Structure 1
């Protein structure tokens, strides 16, 4: 089974590309979804996070308030590293289980979408990397609009990740998402045809 890692910066459009691929009947494993699953109450990672960051990050129903936790870790690189040391191994185990299930079901190609694929050292889990790219200014504007935050807050979020100009160097394929939705859909279809369908024939 061929595993394609799909990544990009915050607000670059990774999820949109993943949805387009799903619409083409391509199986997608979403590391963000896995990250939510491993921090539900009762999970080992949940217990470790509460022990590390305290009950002040919890909602009234005892679930983790992602906004409250995000404010802590985006402002403090050391805190972010402590969080990732808890969540990344748990996400990796969940991803490996899902990949095995898809392999056993006979899927020839699967997409593994992870924002921190490169930063988390998960590149070895995939056969190749596709990067969804936008320039920094576009990224800032999209983060501000999506999260309804100031430019300063958006800059903080963008700065917490690997710069897009560096990240795109890791991609065997770069999908440019600075244009319209229609342009993106065409580009994704053409990329799939060229990189997957044509190679399956050879």
Structure 2
């Protein structure tokens, strides 16, 4: 079974790419969804409250993600502390979901993760697909999606690993500067290529 990693910078269209793969009935293990689900674990939640303070706890006992975000995204040390708490659990769930796909006899499973390279999940995958786009397209998409200024969009882009740096890790690159139809055609060709060329 091929484990294909899928990653890309903010606004490059990683989610669009993932949705197209789903149309081809390819199993997607979504690390971003897993990273939200793990906070259902009461032990982890308690550890996070203990570590970052009760002001990130809502009245109903759940996590106030915005409050936590304000703490960690302006402080690299705090972000690393959060990652040290969460990444082992995320990794365990990713591996478990991949094994489920293997048991079902899937030929390919995609690990979709925004920070796949940065989080050390690269060793889980056989190959890495990086989705990129022109920066002006990236800025425009972020502005439209998040209703923010050009400067705010640039700030979000600059807070991440650059597209150029991420692409260095990629075995395959898909440029998504065009339309959704163009992207669908590229994905179709990519799947055909993988069917012909991938051997376990």
**Structure 1 stretches (4+) deviating beyond 4 angstroms?**
none
Matches within 5 A, 1:1-202: 1-40=1-40, 42=42, 44-194=43-193, 196-199=194-197
Structure 1 residues 59 and 153: CA distance shift in structure 2, 3 A: farther
Tell me how far apart the structure 2 counterparts of residues 198 and 14 of structure 1 sit (CA, whole Å): 24
Shift of 1:145: 2.2
Shift of 1:71: 2.4
Post-superposition Cα deviations, 1:92-145, rounded to whole Å, max 9, x if no partner, equal 011111111111111111001111111011111000100011233332332232
Shift of 1:148: 2.3
Shift of 1:63: 2.2
Shift of 1:200: 5.1
Q: Which SS does the other structure have where 2:115 is aligned?
A: coil
The answer for unaligned runs of 5 or more in structure 1 is: none
TM-score, length of structure 2 as denominator length = 0.91
Give the length in aligned residue pairs: 200
Tell me how far apart the structure 1 counterparts of residues 57 and 156 of structure 2 sit (CA, whole Å): 21
Post-superposition Cα deviations, 1:20-53, rounded to whole Å, max 9, x if no partner, equal 00100100000011101111251x3322222222
Structure 1 residues 45 and 169: CA distance shift in structure 2, 3 A: same
The answer for unaligned runs of 5 or more in structure 2 is: none
Shift of 1:180: 0.9
Structure 1 residues 166 and 181: CA distance shift in structure 2, 3 A: same
Shift of 1:56: 1.9
